[in-house]
Amino acid sequence: MKYQDFNKKIIELVGGKDNVQAVVHCMTRLRFTLKDRSKAKTEEIKNMDGVVDVVSNDVAYQIIVGTHVNEVHSELISMLGISGESDASDKKVKKNPVKAVLDLFSESMTPILEPIIAAGMLAGVLSLLTLTGLVSAESPTYLLLDNIRSAVFFFLPIFMAMSCAKRLNASPYLAVALAAALLSEGINGVEGLSIFGISLPTTTYSNSFIPIILAVWFMGYVQKFLKKIMPQFLHYFLVPVFTLIICLPITLMFFGPMGAWIGNGMSYVCLFLMDTLGNWSVIALYAALQPFLIMFGAGNFIIPIVVQFHAEIGYDPVFYAACTISDIAVAGAMVGYFLRAKNEKQKQLFGTFGFSALLGVTEPAIYGAFVKFRRPFIAVMIGGGLGGLFAGITNVKTYAMAWGLAGLPSYIGNSDYKNFYSMIIAVIIGFVAAAIAAYILGIPKEKDEKSNDEKIAEVKAVDSEVNASIMKKTVINGCAKGDLIELAKVDDKAFSSGALGKGVGIVANTNSVVAPANGEVVTVFPTKHAFGIKTDDGVEILIHIGINTVELEGKHFDLKVNQGDMVTVGQPLVEVDFEKVKEEGYDPTIIMVVTNTADYLDVIPVKEDFITSEEECITVVL
């Protein structure tokens, strides 16, 4: 359980196990369905190590964690004791019907992206192999491997049936059985079919997804109805067979033609826009705006349209080319920021975000840099728009469902080298233009970018110039003599994350721990390892001696005060034999934080390497 502590904290902050109705995941984010979203502590989740950002909108409560989300999710659902999918017995939240349909498409497509991406990437590899002459397009090796690609799309209804069945209250296995029947040689695309003397329209179900979604939706109601009217002891034997006997004819008569009409309608709308506004305008617009769609969790809505394009005309004339151009423009913007940044930590961050975007995963960059600095959105609108404009003018086609840098070879398609070269140029334009724009726009200075010394100096300057009633500060001294370390480097996530307040860590070189300020000892833990002090100004200080030292149960701690005592700065609180603590295998770091940090304008630790109990350690701006 590599992410056990992380998931335990997530579960706690979203309102506990009982508040989680379902949780699925996409490329980088956990998508929660919460029973009461008001119970989620969004700001605390955002501050967790390992969380890039939190997006709460009508689609879902989304926690962005990165490309390792699959591992996090598998452990999370195990800890929650759920399947990871929506439970049909759970109470559903009423949604706008159009919104509900879009959510269904998005959530059903997400689990099957893995084989779709694999098929797209395989198409790219095969294109490279034929381009270099290593494998002939007529060779048995090529044909065998190409069958993987074609099979994924041919059997798309089966993948979709399994993915959406439980969300539509239907049995996944019966849904797959129905999809397999539709793809059989006796039904798929066969003319002259009839049932009970009624002629059936000719419909091709391979490479489609809408007919099976409609059929599985209907199947959910049929199963519910049959279970209601049949005796319990007959459910196991009769419900499955009657479900299939009822659903297959209805699908053949109604849902197959309806699915074809809807799919053709989506294609028609897109083609109409392309013919009316120009192909170039649609690709340029989508490439420029894709980061905004991803930010709002709406990036998957294009997948059904792309699938329909491939089924109808054999390629995608708009979206995946725009996606790739936009993704690589995001990488370009991060490279521009990488070149502009002077801070080594920022350089490392922008470099990581840029590499991820090159591979087609842009959420880390969008939530980690774009939302924070905003100007990269403009850079991608410029770069993506220009790259998309060129791709539209040259009529670039996407022959496989693959995007990002690794998907570029798939644009060769059926030896369509002009298409490939046009896409390469479009990608270069997007990357270079976004990088230049980001570099010129620059990195906005963050509000908290000033050093702690600068902050304290500003506070002191203001304090000397304005009336004390307008601005006051209180000073907290060190609680021990020793080496001072940043709170973020303390080996305890509860403290290092800042969730318990701002403060410092001290590695003491003496055994005495003293009061850092005048006040009342409001808490003394029975194990003598932690103290709560409330100063005369109302500042609440927690002094926690060592990490996990609660397990020592007071051993090696000699208490000097009691709860309720009034103490003065420098007065001993406890004597600790730190050598014995270390011999017992415990980290002896003293952690001192202001637990009511949120009540003040700022809490500013000093930036020193060494501290004594006579020196200022933390400045609290009241």
Catalytic site positions: 26
Tell me which amino acid residue 485 is.
Answer: I
Entry field: residues in the chain: 622
- Secondary structure of 17-31 in HEC code, one letter for each residue: HHHEEEEEECCCEEE
Tell me which amino acid residue 510 is.
Answer: T
Strand 530-535 and strand 519-524: the pairing is antiparallel
Tell me which amino acid residue 277 is.
Answer: L
Q: Are 411 and 398 in contact (CB under 8 A)?
A: yes
- The CA distance from 404 to 419, in Å, is 16
Matching residue, tokens 């939190």: 54
Quote the longest CA-to-CA distance of the chain. 98
What DSSP character marks residue 501? Answer: -
- The CA distance from 322 to 421, in Å, is 15
Q: Are 170 and 223 in contact (CB under 8 A)?
A: yes
Q: Containing H/E element for 376?
A: helix 375-393
Q: Are 40 and 13 in contact (CB under 8 A)?
A: yes
DSSP characters over 221-267 = HHHHHHHHHS-GGGHHHHHHHHHHHHHHHHIIIIIHHHHHHHHHHHH
Tell me which amino acid residue 147 is.
Answer: N
Q: Comparing C-alpha atoms, which of 139, 143, 144, 145 is closest to residue 125?
A: 145
